[in-house]
């Protein structure tokens, strides 16, 4: 681990703070209901974790649970469960003043000095070896204006000053400092350390590598044991919240003070531990060497070194402020709470999650039944705020148990229209949703239209065209096969993202339709500009390979859609499915949409298959992006399939789309009124005739002896 001969002063990346709104609400409750005018210091707990992204540092975070319980009679230390790998707890102290003048008048340097003295005492009495988190203890001063729901606050992360400062000999990625065997053993040791509930949140430790390249992680209190091993490499490791490639994080400052004062080590080899997706990342982690000169007076226990550590606000030494007045409105508060899970995803699991694109996405749901209700709620959970539901049915007494947006009140007096009742329910659940309901029937092939009703049907066709044109995503969630034909055609014509979900008794199909037959980069860019926000314009609406496009719901059919509702028994008229099926299919449909939005090729993304060798798919933030998902509750199984477009498809082939573009509503009426028209147009009729023309030479099984048989 010898580095270049050049030396410089070792510089540290400052700690950064992040305070959840729940902390301020909790503090307000404690102030109002328990503390009153008592401004005694309050013990609190902060949380941080090793850096887990090459571009983002982790912050020290305060949550509602950082505060002591308001049920206790005294200000006790908050009860925090240990062993959470993503939440290393750090002790802190809060000084909350009664007036803003008191806040500004606090002796900030004196408070910082007092906390630094606690760290110094913990180093000398050995407590820091038993509980190393005390090396990162912090200070928070605040003033809570509960009338205006505003808060002034300032963090300090006390760091003992080395004088003269430590000099940096070498700092490089850990992957460059170890042999392959050492790196593999070290990664395995770290993963074991991080996965154990006993050590996962222990932020400072010793790293020992023996002559056989075997790595071991040990507690600081095991220092004497490590000293007795000759020929072993020894590094001082810590969880580094910083992502910078040329600077260790702030926690190393007090760690060096401990190493210098307790063990009198002048050349320190340290390891800044960082992660990627929950596993040790030797490329992101750093290994360095620093030279330390023991400052004068450090041998004397009464002596307390100088300290620094007040957090800067935009480069200046001033406090921060936050107002919760806006969030106190129920609607605004609902928005904040609803987005919390999505924002937490961006911290670690999905940093690339584009919340703005999801919130501006306009989704059209054709069908407000069992599937439509579930899809609408799941879309809202993903942050989608603009939803339109289309249905011409009314809420029946049998609906509320299976269709989650309806109640008994919606069934009374003949039943509310589903589209209207669903929108009202969505707004009660989440007032900020921009939901609209459209009561309309979808014209269907195989359902001939009397001449006196033609104008009404044509109006419905035009309305459906306009709805699809004004939305970004279309979900086909209707009960019948033929009701999906016209939307599939219109979506293929306008190149819309289209998701189909269909149910059997114990099976389901969820699929995304491929791009339309005439999509082009020019058309697609115009489409993106007209329908999506600027955040959505990079969905990759260009065919990367010029390959065969994915099929739609009708591409595997050899017959045109026909009337599937007439002359049916009651169990055939109703959607008879196992109750758990719809939530599964609905959730997968929405997840499929989110996968498309986060794929670089968008609607043109190839269909991935589970366990495929396509390495690109596994590298996507949300994993593979299948074309079709078919599941069975009878087998408790599901599979991913790929089906390409058909040149004879009755909904999306170039022949059908071209005919629609030329003839418009006249074409649609002909397809509706003449059951065989689509088959004739696409060549399916000739295909079936060709198949029927093959005559197999079967033995008719007759002989003369049959004359003796008696007919019964």
Q: Establish whether the linkage from the previous residue to 164 is cis, with ω within 30° of 0.
A: yes
Containing H/E element for 593? helix 581-597
Find residue 139's DSSP bridge partners: 93, 156
Q: Are the beta carbons of 282 and 50 closer than 8 angstroms?
A: no
Q: Which residue has the tokens 């996965």?
A: 195
Pairing of strands 88-97, 138-145: parallel
H or E segment at 374?
Answer: helix 370-381
Spatial distance between the Cα atoms of 712 and 697, rounded to a whole number of angstroms: 29
249, 222 Cβ separation under 8 angstroms: no
What is the C-alpha separation between 22 and 65, in angstroms, rounded? 8
Q: How far is residue 622's CA from residue 608's CA, in Å, rounded to a whole number?
A: 12
User: Can you tell me which residue has the tokens 């407590």?
Assistant: 127
Tokens of 464: 């459906």
Question: Is the CA virtual torsion 158, 162, 163, 165 positive or negative?
Answer: negative
> Which two tokens mark 219?
């507690």
Is residue 11 a contact partner of residue 247, using CB atoms and an 8 Å limit? yes
Both structure tokens of 199 = 């050590």
The CA–CA distances, whole Å, from 214 to 176, 178, 203 equal 17, 11, 21
Q: Are 232 and 226 in contact (CB under 8 A)?
A: yes
* Residues 387 and 365 sit within 8 Å (Cβ to Cβ): yes
Coil, strand or helix at 390: strand
Q: How far apart are the C-alpha atoms of 541 and 615, rounded to whole Å?
A: 21
- Report residue 52 as tokens: 């887990």
Q: Are 508 and 585 in contact (CB under 8 A)?
A: yes
User: Which residues is 216 bridged to in the sheet?
Assistant: 208
Half-sphere exposure of 670 (CA within 13 A, CB side): 14
State the DSSP H helix or E strand holding residue 323, giving kind and residue range, or none if neither.
strand 320-323
Q: Are strands 60-62 and 17-19 parallel, antiparallel or unpaired?
A: parallel
Work out the burial of residue 604: count CB atoms within 10 Å of its CB; fewer than 13 is exposed, 13-18 middle, 19 or more buried: buried
What is the CA 696 to chain-centroid distance, rounded? 58
Task: Say if residues 631 and 507 touch (Cβ distance below 8 Å).
Answer: yes
| Catalytic residue flag (residue 574) | yes
Residue 444 burial (CB < 10 Å; 0-12/13-18/19+)?
Answer: buried
**Three-state SS at 538:** coil
Structure tokens at 21: 């709104």
Q: Report the distance separating Cα 46 and Cα 24, nearest Å.
A: 14
Residues 6+ apart with CB under 8 A from 488: 476, 498, 513, 552, 553, 554, 651, 652
Q: How far apart are CA 533 and CA 545, in angstroms?
A: 26
- For 491, the enclosing helix (H) or strand (E) is helix 485-494
Nearest to 659, CA basis, from 685, 684, 677: 677
* CB-based contact 231:214 (threshold 8 Å): no
* Catalytic-labelled residue, pool 363, 574, 653, 709: 574
What does the radius of gyration of the chain's CA atoms come to, in whole angstroms?
Answer: 34
- The candidate with the shortest Cα–Cα distance to 23, out of 46, 49, 4, 5, is 46
Catalytic site positions: 574
């Amino acid at each position: 681990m010898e580095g270049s001969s050049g030396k410089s002063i070792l510089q540290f990346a400052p700690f950064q703070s992040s305070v959840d709104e729940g902390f301020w609400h909790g503090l307000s409750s404690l102030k109002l209901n328990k503390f009153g005018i008592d401004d005694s210091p309050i013990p609190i707990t902060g949380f941080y974790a090793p850096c887990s992204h090459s571009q983002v540092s982790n912050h020290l975070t305060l949550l509602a649970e950082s505060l002591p319980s308001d049920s206790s009679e005294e200000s006790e230390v908050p009860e925090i469960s240990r062993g959470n790998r993503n939440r290393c707890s750090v002790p802190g102290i809060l000084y909350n003043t009664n007036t803003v003048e008191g806040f500004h008048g606090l002796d900030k340097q004196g408070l910082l000095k007092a906390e630094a003295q606690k760290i110094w005492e913990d180093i000398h009495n050995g407590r820091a070896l038993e509980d190393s988190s005390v090396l990162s203890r912090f200070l928070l001063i605040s003033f809570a204006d509960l009338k205006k729901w505003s808060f002034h606050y300032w963090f300090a992360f006390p760091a003992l000053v080395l004088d003269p400062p430590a000099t940096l000999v070498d700092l490089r990625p850990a992957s460059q400092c170890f042999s392959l065997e050492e790196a593999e053993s070290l990664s395995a040791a770290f993963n074991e350390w991080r996965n154990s509930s006993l050590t996962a949140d222990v932020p400072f430790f010793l790293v020992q590598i023996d002559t056989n390249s075997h790595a071991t992680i040990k507690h600081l209190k095991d220092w004497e044991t490590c000293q007795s091993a000759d020929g072993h490499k020894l590094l001082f490791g810590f969880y580094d919240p910083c992502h910078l490639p040329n600077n260790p994080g702030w926690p190393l400052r007090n760690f060096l003070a401990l190493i210098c004062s307790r063990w009198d080590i002048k050349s320190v080899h340290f390891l800044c531990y960082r992660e990627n997706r929950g596993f040790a990342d030797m490329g992101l982690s750093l290994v360095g060497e620093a030279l330390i000169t023991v400052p004068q007076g450090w041998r004397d226990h009464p002596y307390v070194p100088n300290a620094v550590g007040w957090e800067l606000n935009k480069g200046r030494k001033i406090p921060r402020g936050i107002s919760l007045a806006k969030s106190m409105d129920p609607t605004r508060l609902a928005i904040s709470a609803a987005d919390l899970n999505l924002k937490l995803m961006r911290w670690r699991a999905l940093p690339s999650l584009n919340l703005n694109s999801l919130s501006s996405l306009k989704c059209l749901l054709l069908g407000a039944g069992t599937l439509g209700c579930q899809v609408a709620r799941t879309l809202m959970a993903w942050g989608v705020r603009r939803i339109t539901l289309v249905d011409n049915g009314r809420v029946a007494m049998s609906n509320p148990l299976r269709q989650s947006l309806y109640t008994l009140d919606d069934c009374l007096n003949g039943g509310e229209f589903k589209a209207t009742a669903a929108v009202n329910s969505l707004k009660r659940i989440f007032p900020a949703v921009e939901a609209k309901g459209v009561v309309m029937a979808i014209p269907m092939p195989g359902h001939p239209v009397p001449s006196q009703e033609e104008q009404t049907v044509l109006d419905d066709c035009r309305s459906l065209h306009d709805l699809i044109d004004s939305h970004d995503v279309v979900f086909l969630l209707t009960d019948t096969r033929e009701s999906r034909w016209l939307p599939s055609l219109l979506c293929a014509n306008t190149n819309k993202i289209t998701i189909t979900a269909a149910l059997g008794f114990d099976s389901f199909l969820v699929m995304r339709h491929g791009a339309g037959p005439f999509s082009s980069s020019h058309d697609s860019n115009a489409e993106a500009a007209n329908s999506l926000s600027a955040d959505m314009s990079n969905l990759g609406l260009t065919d990367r390979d010029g390959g065969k496009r994915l099929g739609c719901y009708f591409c595997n059919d050899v017959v045109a859609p026909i009337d599937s509702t007439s002359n049916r028994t009651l169990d055939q008229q109703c959607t008879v499915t196992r109750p758990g099926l719809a939530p599964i299919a609905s959730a997968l449909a929405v997840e499929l949409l989110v996968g498309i939005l986060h794929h670089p090729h968008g609607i043109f993304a190839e269909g991935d298959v589970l366990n495929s060798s396509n390495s690109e798919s596994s590298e996507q933030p949300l994993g593979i992006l299948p074309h079709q998902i078919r599941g069975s509750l009878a087998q408790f199984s599901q599979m991913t399939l790929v089906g390409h477009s058909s040149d004879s498809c009755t909904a999306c082939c170039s022949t059908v789309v071209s005919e629609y573009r030329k003839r418009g509503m006249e074409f649609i009426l002909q397809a509706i009124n003449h059951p065989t028209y689509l088959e004739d147009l696409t060549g399916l009729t000739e295909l079936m005739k060709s198949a029927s023309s093959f005559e197999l030479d079967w033995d008719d099984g007759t002989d003369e002896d049959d004359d003796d048989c008696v007919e019964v």
